[in-house]
Chains A and B, each alone.
Chain A
Amino acid sequence: MSHIELLNVSKSYDKQRSVLNEIDVSIEKGEFFVLVGPSGSGKSTLLRMIAGLEEITSGTLHMNGQVVNHLPPKDRHLSMVFQNYALYPHLTVEQNILFGLNAKKMDKKEQKKRLHETAEMMGLTELLKRKPRQLSGGQRQRVALARSVVSEAPLCLMDEPLSNLDAKLRAHMRMEIRRLQKKLGLTMVYVTHDQVEAMTMGDRIMVLNDGKVQQVGEPIALYNEPANVFVASFIGSPKMNMGRAVVKGQQLVVEDSLSIPVEAADVVDLPKNRKMIAGIRAEHLSQVTSDEKTHVLDVISVEHLGNETMVTFEVGREFWTAKWLGQQIVHVGDRVPVGLSVKNISFFDAETGELMKAASSQKQKEGVAI
């Protein structure tokens, strides 16, 4: 059953600057739905419209099948976690957690019960009497989560809740939020600019850019079949390598410098002599022995990450990065043999940026995995 449904939702300020354009999406009950996009893409605005903190300029927002455009936030049965946590500085942790229940004048006994359950669950029992400024960033984050949990609202909205934490804690909290959501069966709408967060947490992801929906889908689908150049470069790290490409006879020519032999079957649905953009993931610029090589490329940068090595090559005017397992002995200036196959290349229209043909190898792999 769909929990939230947006139909043709748009937002503009002063009837001029349009922030969001005709968003259509439906979010299922119990789903972890991530809104991801660069800053200024409108993702936070969309979340705040769902919360009722921003007016919807046009279109309708449904919750549980009812139109809720006109309802104030408190009648939408939701909780929200803010980027800066929005903890009341003059209240203790306990008072902060109970803030919403108090506002709703809930029975004191019930409040106590819920407080203890939640504090237990979030590991805050020891901290109940402290003020927010006496807490670490991670603890504050937990209080903000607890405030959301204690409300027992079926819908939880989060606006970049992890961006103020350091990398280690962030990774931990990702897991914890995810677990909490599953355990409580919450419908979650989660805003982030971090594609790793989106990929690791979301059941489904909506990629937004410039107020327009770029693609909605499961993380792997977004990775394997990005709907356009924007999604291709936004999802995945390092980003997908891309270059201008054109099919000439039996060759695919990339950036006027790489010629990749193609079979007729590979390019059957691609127009000849048409400008395209070819994209290939870093892990598909394979490391090969000189015998298996298809090309030799110039190394311009090497980054050692310990368990893997990022090698950046020059391809025409583009820099392409390869991700190789283990610690590779490669130096800047080396000419290194690589293997790349047209099966791993996705093709996009150079004019519109839309996907024309996704890499075919992934589909086979998926089949194998299943």
Chain B
Amino acid sequence: MIMPLYKKVVLYLLLSVSAFFIFAPAIMALVMSFMPSEQILTGTIIPDSLTLDHYRQAFERFPLLSYLTNSLIVSLLIMAGQLLLSSLAAYAFVFLEFKGRDALFFLFIATMMIPFEASIIPNFQTIRDMNLLNTYTGLSLPFFAMAFGTFLLRQTFKQIPKELKEASEIAGMGDLKFYLTVVLPVAKTSLVTLGVYGFLSAWNMYLWPLLATTDDSVRTVQIGLKQLQSQEQLNEWGVIMAGGIIVVLPTLILLFLGQKKLQKGLTEGALK
């Protein structure tokens, strides 16, 4: 459809103003992370010189690199666990027929109603009693099972023609092999989407890493940022912002790359 000019102008105006407000905090942080401290303290908005000092200090004074590595490992672990468990469960719900399947499916739906935050106390005790505090395992284990991921993949698997399964049955291929050699490759796009989503959520996790880490050994970058913020003097805003930028950079890049797929995948998963 052809859009009248005035409508275009109004739209671009709305879009630009909105974009400014949405993006302002992040831009501000980015600018401040390069801005010399004196200028920050005087309330400058546009700096007249840039410096890398804050970044250097952030890395020097804090084990940021090790925090980043920890976050990466934990996020990858959670992502892999979720992909494996969700795809296995989704496979059972789509391709296997057995008594009690519907009851189990309701059990999965029911898990959506239990907030992790409400069951955090026993979870902490479990991990503590298993001596898993301050371990990658302890950080990632509670998040492996995932109802949302199961639903999302179930939607995708349902779109695979059942004839593919039947053809493989006639060829004498077992379920495990069909799952590995046909279902997973065919559903690659959705697996990537879910993986990105799982990675993002895991990277950004706050409450659990706060509880499950008591020292620097496996501390994630989010909790590192909290420490940076609470231990720094208030006039070290540049260092704090540099830390913030380092924390969001990986996820933002991932998001920019996968925005379209993520949107499609999440919408599909959300709306059965």
User: Interface residues, chain A, CB within 8 Å of chain B?
Assistant: 48, 51-53, 72-75, 78-80, 82-86, 88-90, 99-100, 103-104, 147, 151
Contact = CB atoms under 8 A, between A and B. Distances in A.
B164 A86 contact: yes
Contacts of A82: 163, 166-167
Contacts of B169: 52-53, 72-74
A75 B171 CA distance: 9
Interface in B170-205: 170-173, 177, 182, 185-186, 188
B171 A103 contact: yes
Given A52-B169, A80-B170, 7 more contacts: A78-B170, A82-B163, A86-B163, A99-B171, A100-B171, A104-B172, A147-B167
Nearest to A82: B163
Nearest to A159: B163
A100 B163 contact: no
* Residues of B contacting A: mostly: helix
B182 A88 contact: yes
Interface string B140-163: 000000000000000000000101
Contact of A84 (B163, B170, B177, B188): B163
29 contacts: A51-B166, A52-B170, A53-B169, A73-B166, A74-B169, A74-B170, A78-B170, A80-B166, A82-B163, A84-B161, A84-B163, A85-B163, A86-B161, A86-B163, A86-B167, A88-B164, A88-B182, A88-B186, A90-B182, A90-B185, A99-B173, A100-B170, A100-B171, A103-B168, A103-B171, A103-B172, A103-B173, A103-B177, A104-B171
Interface residues of B, number: 16
A48 B162 CA distance: 13
Contact of B172 (A74, A89, A147): A74
Nearest to A83: B163
Contacts of A78: 170
Interface of B: 161, 163-164, 166-173, 177, 182, 185-186, 188
Contacts, number: 60
A75 B161 CA distance: 23
Between B167, B168, B169, B172, the greatest number of chain A beta carbons within 10 A of the residue's beta carbon is seen for B167
Contacts of A86: 161, 163-164, 166-167
Contacts of B188: 90
B169 to A, nearest CB: 5
Nearest to B165: A86
A85 B166 CA distance: 11
A314 B165 CA distance: 52
Contacts of A88: 164, 182, 186
A90 B186 contact: yes
Nearest to A104: B172
Contacts of A85: 163
Nearest to A85: B163
A88 B160 CA distance: 10
- Which 6 pairs between the two chains have the least Cβ-Cβ distance? A74-B172, A100-B171, A86-B163, A103-B173, A86-B167, A82-B163
A74 B172 CA distance: 5
Nearest to B182: A88
Nearest to B167: A86
A281 B7 CA distance: 67
A361 B164 CA distance: 50
A90 B184 CA distance: 10
Nearest to A90: B185
Given A88-B186, A90-B185, A103-B177, A74 B171 contact: yes
Contacts of A75: 172
Contacts of B166: 48, 51, 53, 73, 80, 82, 86
Contacts of A74: 169-173
A81 to B, nearest CB: 9
B176 to A, nearest CB: 12
A79 B161 contact: no
A78 B167 CA distance: 11
A90 B160 CA distance: 12
B172 A100 contact: yes
Contacts of A72: 169
A53 B166 CA distance: 7
A84 B167 CA distance: 11
Contacts of A53: 166, 169-170
A78 B188 CA distance: 31
A48 B163 CA distance: 11
Contacts of B163: 82-86
B119 to A, nearest CB: 39
A132 to B, nearest CB: 11
B9 to A, nearest CB: 42
B161 to A, nearest CB: 6
Contacts of A103: 168, 171-173, 177
A191 to B, nearest CB: 14
A79 B170 contact: yes
A131 to B, nearest CB: 12
Contacts of B164: 86, 88
Contacts of B186: 88-90
A80 B163 CA distance: 10
A79 B169 CA distance: 10
A80 B165 CA distance: 12
A147 B169 CA distance: 14
A183 to B, nearest CB: 22
Contacts of B168: 99, 103
A195 B171 CA distance: 30
Nearest to B188: A90
A73 B170 contact: yes
B182 to A, nearest CB: 6
A99 B177 CA distance: 12
Between A51, A78, A100, A151, the greatest number of chain B beta carbons within 10 A of the residue's beta carbon is seen for A100
